[in-house]
């Protein structure tokens, strides 16, 4: 999703560059007119997907019944939890088997399926979900994490560059602001792909922590250069360069990371409502920045101009500190084990080492995303120690 969004942003920047020298009404009619094309594509795609899911019989047709001309690319297969919610048990097993690359009869598949089903039945026994429930009990911290991670994603103010980048670079004295804006778009597109890999390699917490720290550093340098060497060509080049590095940091961390995190926070029963609140937070702060920034930067009002980078340095740094104290590690955890993790009261900075209560001696890193630990007798044990103990047991058996 992030990659598609960044390509769309780059396309709009290219359109703005192409109409830069146009002095008549076409300068705004062409960009606005092109928006109707993409809007229609989104509407058509959403309509087709919605219609394809209305009837269970159309969800998983047998391969031999598919018409070769059917445009299957326009539909997406539902996940196992969606099938469980619709009481389509065989399809749920098939979906799980496909994701895990195991046969439907594998014990691991049936165990996970039973876990999902039992959790769904438990949630149904609690009644119809409401928005109010999201702010009570163990759901409240999860809800606030979702809302705030989307707030800080916007307060990195990457959209300030995309919305007002040309004006920002003009105020910095850069002679080709439209071209530099397109350069930020190119960086945004290509640096999204490393983020797809890093979010799994680093985990959610480190991913967001490193990204916020890097972006705050870039904005600090941009702000310092704007007041010390803003009138010099070298200073302007440094400002443009670190703005691109700032975009690279966002695109490879907070861009995809914020959306990944909110997709993993909420139990199935509350997932739609929880994600809707997080998404609403994203768009609210998006609007706030788009509305307020001109008053802060324009000469007739706040007149901060390029010095606004100091504000963005502060917001990114606050986001980094907030991430450390409040964002849990959700990598590899299922929605069911996340329920247990939040109910256990473990501190966010310790969640990378947390393991579920049902884990046994065979537990290994990657099963649920805990590095170097497993459970022995209800306690956290380092793998190195456990392996040494295992080797000792084997030696005892041989000597016996």
pLDDT in tens, 253-272: 998 888 989 988 888 788 88
pLDDT in tens, 134-159: 998 888 999 999 999 999 999 998 88
Answer whether 211's CB lies under 8 Å from 253's CB.
yes
pLDDT in tens, 177-230: 889 999 999 999 999 888 888 888 888 899 899 999 999 999 999 999 988 887
- Vertex 304 angle, CA 300 and 308, to 5°: 140
The pLDDT of residue 172: 83
CA torsion, points 185, 186, 189, 193, in degrees to nearest 10?
-140
Q: Residue for token digits 């720290």? A: 213
- State how far the Cα of 80 lies from the Cα of 136, in Å rounded to an integer: 28
Tell me which long-range contacts 351-356 makes (C-beta under 8 A, separation of at least 24).
351/205, 352/203, 352/205, 353/380, 354/329, 355/380
User: What DSSP string runs through 332-378?
Assistant: T--HHHHHHHHHHT--GGGGGG---TT--TT--TTSSS-SSEEEETT
Answer whether 301's CB lies under 8 Å from 321's CB.
no
The pLDDT of residue 150: 95
- State how far the Cα of 360 lies from the Cα of 172, in Å rounded to an integer: 60
Structure tokens that stand for 322 in this block: 């907030």
Tell me the average pLDDT of the chain. 79
The pLDDT of residue 135: 93
- Axis-axis angle for helices 309-326, 204-228 (nearest 10): 160
Mean pLDDT of 48-54: 66
- Which of 199-203, 210-214, 293-297, 336-340 shows the lowest mean pLDDT across its residues? 336-340
Is residue 281 helix, strand or coil? Answer: helix
Residue 387 falls in which region: left (phi positive, over 0), alpha (psi -120 to 50) or beta:
alpha
How many C-beta atoms surround the C-beta of residue 206 within 10 A?
A: 17
Mean pLDDT of 362-384: 39
Mean pLDDT of 312-324: 95
- State how far the Cα of 114 lies from the Cα of 108, in Å rounded to an integer: 10
- Which of 160-164, 249-253, 357-361 shows the lowest mean pLDDT across its residues? 357-361
Rg value, the chain, Cα: 25
Which one, of 119, 143, 113, 36, lies nearest residue 340 by Cα?
119
Mean pLDDT of 80-89: 81
Answer whether 305's CB lies under 8 Å from 171's CB.
yes
> Per-residue confidence at 386, pLDDT binned at 50, 70, 90?
very low
73: burial class by Cβ within 10 Å (0-12, 13-18, 19+)?
exposed
Mean pLDDT of 326-341: 82
Answer whether 208's CB lies under 8 Å from 253's CB.
yes
Which one, of 126, 123, 143, lies nearest residue 134 by Cα?
143
Topology of domain 138-326, CATH? Growth Hormone; Chain: A; (1.20.1250)
72 pLDDT exceeds 70? Answer: no
User: What DSSP string runs through 79-121?
Assistant: PHHHHHHTT-HHHHHHHHHHHHTS-TTSHHHHHHHHHHHHHHH
377 pLDDT exceeds 50? Answer: no
């Amino acid at each position: 999703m992030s990659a598609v969004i960044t390509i769309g942003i780059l396309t709009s920047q290219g359109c703005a560059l192409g109409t830069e020298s146009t002095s008549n009404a076409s300068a705004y009619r062409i960009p606005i007119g092109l928006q109707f094309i993409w809007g229609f594509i989104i509407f058509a795609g959403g309509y087709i997907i919605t219609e394809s899911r209305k009837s269970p019989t159309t969800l998983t047709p047998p391969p031999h019944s598919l018409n070769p001309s059917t445009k299957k690319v326009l539909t997406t297969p539902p996940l196992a939890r969606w099938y469980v919610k619709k009481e389509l048990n065989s399809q749920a097993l098939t979906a799980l088997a496909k994701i895990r690359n195991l046969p439907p009869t594998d014990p691991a598949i049936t165990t996970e399926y039973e876990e999902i089903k039992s959790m769904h039945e438990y949630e149904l026994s609690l009644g119809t979900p409401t928005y109010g429930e999201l702010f009570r009990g163990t759901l409240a911290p999860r809800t606030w994490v979702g809302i705030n991670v989307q707030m800080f994603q916007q307060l990195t103010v990457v959209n300030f560059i995309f919305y007002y980048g040309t004006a920002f670079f003009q105020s910095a004295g850069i002679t080709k602001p439209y071209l530099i804006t397109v350069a930020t778009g190119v960086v945004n597109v290509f640096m999204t792909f490393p983020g797809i890999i890093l979010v799994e390699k680093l985990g959610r917490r480190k991913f967001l922590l490193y990204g916020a720290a890097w972006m705050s550093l870039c904005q600090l340098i941009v702000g310092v250069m704007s007041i010390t060497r803003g009138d010099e060509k070298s200073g302007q080049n440094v400002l443009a360069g670190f703005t691109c590095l700032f975009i690279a940091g966002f695109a490879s961390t907070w861009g995809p990371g914020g959306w990944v995190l909110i997709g993993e926070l909420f139990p199935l029963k509350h997932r739609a409502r929880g994600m809707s609140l997080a998404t609403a937070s994203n768009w609210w702060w998006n609007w706030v920045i788009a509305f307020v920034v001109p008053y802060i930067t324009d000469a007739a009002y706040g007149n901060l101009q390029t010095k606004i980078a100091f504000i963005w340095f502060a917001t990114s740094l606050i986001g980094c500190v907030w991430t450390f104290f409040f964002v849990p590690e959700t990598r590899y955890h299922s929605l069911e084990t996340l329920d247990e993790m939040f109910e256990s009261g473990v501190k966010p900075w310790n969640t990378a080492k947390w393991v579920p209560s049902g884990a046994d001696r065979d537990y290994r890193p990657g099963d649920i995303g805990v590095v170097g630990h497993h459970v022995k007798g209800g306690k956290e044990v380092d793998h190195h120690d456990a392996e040494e103990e295992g080797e000792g047991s084997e030696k005892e058996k041989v000597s016996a």
